[in-house]
Amino acid sequence: MDEVNLIRGLKQGSKSAFDAIYAMYFKRLFVYCLRFTKSSEDAEEIVQDVFLRLWNIRESIQQEDTLRSLLFIISKNYLINAFHKNINSPVYEDYVNYQEQIAVDNISRMEYEEFVHQLNHAMSRLPKTQQLVIELSRFKQLSNKEVAERLSLSEQTVKNQLSLGLKMLRSLLGNAPIIGLFFILNDLFRYVDK
Amino acid sequence: MKDLYKKYVTDHLTHQELEMLKNTDPSILDRELERFMEEEWQSDMLDSSNVSEELMVRVKSQLDEKIQLRRLSMPLYVKVFAWAAAVLLPLLILSTFYLYHENHQLVSEEMVVATGLGERATITLPDATKVTLNADSKLTYIPKVYNKKERKIKFSGEGYFEVSKDKERPFLIDAKGLNITVLGTTFDLLVRNNEKTAELSLESGKVMFRSLLSGKFVILNPNQKVVLDQSTGNLVVMKDESQYVAPWKRNELVFRNAPLSSVLSSIEKTYGVHIVMGCKECNSDLFTGTLVTNDINGVLEVIEEAYQLKAVMNGHEISIVKVK
């Protein structure tokens, strides 16, 4: 069935026309979204939202020959927000630093998603306090004083826990196949002396 | 600029380039980004061959569930309506009245906290969230349902929010032209009915701010501020330059290149006074500075000095004239 007929069907509320349109555009839309979200989970969610929106507005669709541009318009805001979320994320910043470093050392590249996964896995193996301290200090960007307040600890304890945690992360990630992660921790160590 | 986006999608950004992106004016950033996104979408290079059928099917089944949910509610609605239409007129009126009364009862269990001009109030909600209301503000919530599945409030005016963390129950704010979703955070929100813009300044935590008009939304990080244009639904995110959020809470009014007319308007609201401005030409003069608001006389003195004006107070009426 060609797209013109599918669109006509969709406008009249045909679920099977919608299913066919979904099959037509899903893969392309997913790959496209992934380029901006850098996370499969987020890309899946956005693709779902885009098609859901398409279904909800089906009666007022203006396009007749192709939905290519309409899908773009619907996805635009979701992706712009995903972009902003990433560039402002401390973990993404670590990733960029890491990428720069391995480009220099010629080690094989890692996707952002894999990077986050490795980091989270290593983090979960840390003792609870060290985990919390690193999360608040680096990922939520609080000062040592603020972290101390939040967790009811002394500032010195916070510094100690940060130092211990980072050392442990370093050794944990050292055993991972991707050794390059070492380099981001140099950056993280900055925060011990804040 | 386009090169930076290319590098972003291919993961070849350098640290400096990332900083550049972060420091670019968001509206310019988004404009260029949109152009780039369109090119990417049309690009022949988009390789979708690695996407698994399993993924496509899985997402589709979740999608279908959501669509079904909407569809199911329809037939029921149609059935009830048909029944109601078939009933005799007096009975129809009676049942409508009864339903309205029922709803009205539930809805009217509202708790409202409001401040007038020159007033301030602090309210602690059932989940220990603390809200400090600035002058001329109103907060509404329904105690029966608040903190059950979610924590929802209606708001207008200006308030400083300290929201308790609760991952299970998002904190939602309904306000003119926008809604906000929050998960344990501190921020200042300014949304007044008669203002052209609304703003939220985030101190700590994370907030999702959405325009009802355009559907656009942003997720804010600490030390960021979002300004909503109520007429277009456009959102602008900027770095919050001031170290602190909500200067009014510390008894200060902070202005940066603000026209005198808006400074006077802030003074009116803060003290609950009415100002009659004798010097019309002065209204567009720009004012930059911090007014400590413990005492209105001190504030008026600053204005008098800065603009060669004289303010005469008569109870709650203040008239200002230009000194020759």
CATH at A132: 1.10.10.10
What pLDDT is stored for residue B87 in this prediction?
A: 59
For B147-174, what is the mean pLDDT?
Answer: 89
Same domain, B75 and B32: no
Q: What are phi and psi for residue A60, nearest 5 degrees?
A: -105, 15
| CATH number of the domain residue B161 falls in | 2.60.120.1440
Indicate the residue among A20, A52, A87 that finishes a domain: A87
Q: What residues contact residue B154 under an 8 Å CB cut-off, 6+ apart?
A: B138, B139, B140, B141, B173, B174, B175
Same domain, B129 and B205: yes
How does residue B273 score in pLDDT terms, banded at 50, 70 and 90? Answer: confident
**Closest to A84 (Cβ–Cβ): which among B9, B214, B218?**
B218
Buried b (16+ CB within 10 A) or exposed e, B222-244: bbbbbebbbeebbbbbeebeeee
- Hey, are the CB atoms on A84 and B237 less than 8 Å from each other? yes
- Residue A90: closest C-alpha in chain B: B221
Same domain, B164 and B63: no
- Hey, are the CB atoms on B38 and A72 less than 8 Å from each other? yes
Q: Is B300 exposed, middle or buried (0-12, 13-18, 19+ CB in 10 A)?
A: buried
What pLDDT is stored for residue A71 in this prediction?
A: 94
Residue B53 · residue A27 · CB < 8 Å: no
The boundaries of the domain holding residue B229 are 111-239
Indicate the residue among B216, B239, B262 that finishes a domain: B239
Q: How far apart are CA B35 and CA B20, in angstroms?
A: 18
Same domain, A121 and A56: no
Q: How far is A157 from chain B (nearest CA, A)?
A: 22
Q: Which residue has the higher pLDDT, B253 or A80?
A: A80
Same domain, A109 and A172: yes
Instruction: Tell me, yes or no, whether B244 lies in a domain.
Output: no
Number of domains present in the structure of chain B: 4
How does residue B84 score in pLDDT terms, banded at 50, 70 and 90? Answer: low
Indicate the residue among A42, A63, A87 that finishes a domain: A87
pLDDT score of B12 more than 80: yes
| CATH number of the domain residue A17 falls in | 1.10.1740.10
Q: Report the residue of B10, B23, B39, B63 to disrupt the A interface, i.e. the one with the largest count of A CBs within 10 Å.
A: B63
Same domain, B116 and B235: yes
- Hey, are the CB atoms on A84 and B62 less than 8 Å from each other? no
Instruction: Tell me, yes or no, whether B48 lies in a domain.
Output: no
pLDDT score of A91 more than 80: yes
Is A142's Cβ below 8 Å from some Cβ in B?
A: yes
Same domain, A187 and A101: yes
Q: Which residue has the higher pLDDT, B306 or A5?
A: A5
Residues 70 through 109 of chain A touching chain B, CB cutoff 8 Å:
72, 76-77, 79-81, 83-85, 87-89, 92-93, 96-97, 99-100, 103, 109
Tens of pLDDT, residues A12-70: 999 999 999 999 999 999 999 999 999 999 999 999 999 999 999 898 888 899 999 99
- Hey, are the CB atoms on A48 and B9 less than 8 Å from each other? no
Q: Which residue has the higher pLDDT, A84 or B96?
A: A84
Same domain, B283 and B317: yes
Q: Which positions in chain A touch B51 (Cβ < 8 Å)? A: 26-27, 30-31
Number of domains present in the structure of chain A: 2
The boundaries of the domain holding residue A166 are 90-193
- Hey, are the CB atoms on A76 and B34 less than 8 Å from each other? yes
Tens of pLDDT, residues B177-211: 888 988 778 888 988 887 888 989 888 888 889 88
What pLDDT is stored for residue B35 in this prediction?
A: 92
Same domain, B195 and B276: no
Q: Report the residue of A47, A66, A84 to disrupt the B interface, i.e. the one with the largest count of B CBs within 10 Å.
A: A84
Output the average pLDDT for chain B. 83
Indicate the residue among A87, A109, A132 that finishes a domain: A87
Q: Which positions in chain A touch B67 (Cβ < 8 Å)? A: 15, 52, 55
Same domain, A71 and A140: no
- Hey, are the CB atoms on A28 and B46 less than 8 Å from each other? yes
What pLDDT is stored for residue A104 in this prediction?
A: 65
How does residue A132 score in pLDDT terms, banded at 50, 70 and 90? Answer: confident
| % residues pLDDT > 70 (chain B) | 88
For B131-144, what is the mean pLDDT?
Answer: 91
**Most confident segment among A27-41, B101-115, B225-239:** A27-41
One-letter amino acid for residue B299 of the chain? V
Segments in A38-67 forming alpha helices (H)? 40-56
Tens of pLDDT, residues B50-70: 889 999 999 999 999 888 876
Tens of pLDDT, residues B282-309: 888 888 777 877 778 888 888 888 888 8
Q: Report the residue of B30, B41, B46, B209 to disrupt the A interface, i.e. the one with the largest count of A CBs within 10 Å.
A: B41
- Hey, are the CB atoms on A93 and B30 less than 8 Å from each other? no
Tens of pLDDT, residues A145-192: 888 888 888 888 888 888 888 878 777 765 443 433 444 554 455 555
What pLDDT is stored for residue A176 in this prediction?
A: 44
